[in-house]
Amino acid sequence: MAPPVRSVLPVVFLGCGGVGRHLLRHIVSCRPLHANQGVAIQVVGVADSSSLLVADDLHSNGLDDALLTDLCASPQARPYLPCSLEVVSGQCQIFNNPEARTKVIDTASVLGKTTGLVLVDCSATYDTVGVLKDAVDCGCCVVLANKKPLTCTYEDFEKLVSNFRRIRFESTVGAGLPVIASVSRIISSGDPISRIVGSLSGTLGYVMSELEDGKRFSEQYVRMCGYI
């Protein structure tokens, strides 16, 4: 028998392209594992560059898995969220910009301090920095696949990392290799780091491996642009 749920984690996705959709699918497919760990991840909102799909009742169980699966199964490389209205059955609302941004902040202020709402940035833009900073002020946690918020102004960076326990960005380096966790552990144990050598870009690693396998660079370029 699964243990009781000890930890409920509401999550809002900023971005549901390649990475965002993979993560959504992964969350849905790992429900039994989470249940065994006493954890429930509730996806309460999913945003793209123009819209936000958000649960009607923020204190409910979030968007249901069938809806999330449909969203991820969109034939388009990037699902345009309003298309998902066809599968919405009164459990959520769609907001378009600029209301979408305001609704993300409202959601952060309702759930941030009480639940530690997690904003997961799977976009590839600097445009999320403002929302992320506001969310940090609301007590939210931030998880980044998007490296851009970490390379904005130093002031913004300091704000984002002001509560270091509330931000994670492991997948911004080395395609999710545990680089940051390993380095942090070494530093906090008091050991010095004298040199780091490696190919820390997952994208470059992928391209180089394919070239080693004899594929042409032009093929890699087309594949990475998502055209095939």
Ligand X SMILES: NC(=O)c1ccc[n+]([C@@H]2O[C@H](COP(=O)([O-])OP(=O)(O)OC[C@H]3O[C@@H](n4cnc5c(N)ncnc54)[C@H](OP(=O)(O)O)[C@@H]3O)[C@@H](O)[C@H]2O)c1
Tokens of 69: 């699966």
Residue 218 CB, shortest distance to ligand X, in Å, is: 20
Q: Which of 12, 19, 58, 119 binds ligand X (CB under 6 A)?
A: 19
Which residue sits closest to ligand X, CB atoms considered? Answer: 17
Cβ distance 91 to 55 under 8 Å? yes
CB nearer to ligand X: pick between 59 and 148: 148
11 contacts ligand X (rule: CB under 6 A): no
Q: Which of 39, 125, 51, 118 is nearest to 85 (CA)?
A: 51
Fill in the amino acid letter for 39: V
Residue ranges in 149-188 that form contacts with ligand X under rule CB under 6 A: 171, 175
Question: Which residue in 8, 97, 25 sits closest to 61, CA to CA?
Answer: 8
Contact 142, 166 (CB under 8 A): yes
Query: Could you give the string, one character per residue 118-147, with x where binding to ligand X holds by CB under 6 A and - elsewhere?
Result: ----xxxx-xx----------------xxx
- C-alpha distances (whole Å) from 90 to each of 54, 128, 209 are 11, 28, 47
100-to-52, 81, 85, 96, 216 alpha-carbon distances in Å: 5, 12, 15, 5, 42
Binding residue count for ligand X, defined by CB under 6 A: 24
Select 5 or 87, whichever has its Cβ closest to ligand X. 87
Nearer to ligand X, 183 or 224 (CB): 224
Site residues for ligand X, 35-74, by CB under 6 A, read 47-50
**Token pair listed for 211:** 């070239």
Interface region with ligand X, contact rule CB under 6 A, candidates 12-20, 29-37, 61-69, 188-196: 12-20
Piece of the chain touching ligand X by CB under 6 A; list 35-43, 105-113, 116-124, 150-158: 116-124
Distance CA 107, CA 86 (A): 24
The correct pick among 10, 12, 15, 95 for binding ligand X (CB under 6 A) is 15
- What dihedral angle (degrees, nearest 10) is formed by the CA atoms of 183, 184, 189, 190? 70
Give me the residues that bind ligand X (CB under 6 A), please.
14-20, 47-50, 78, 122-125, 127-128, 145-147, 171, 175, 202
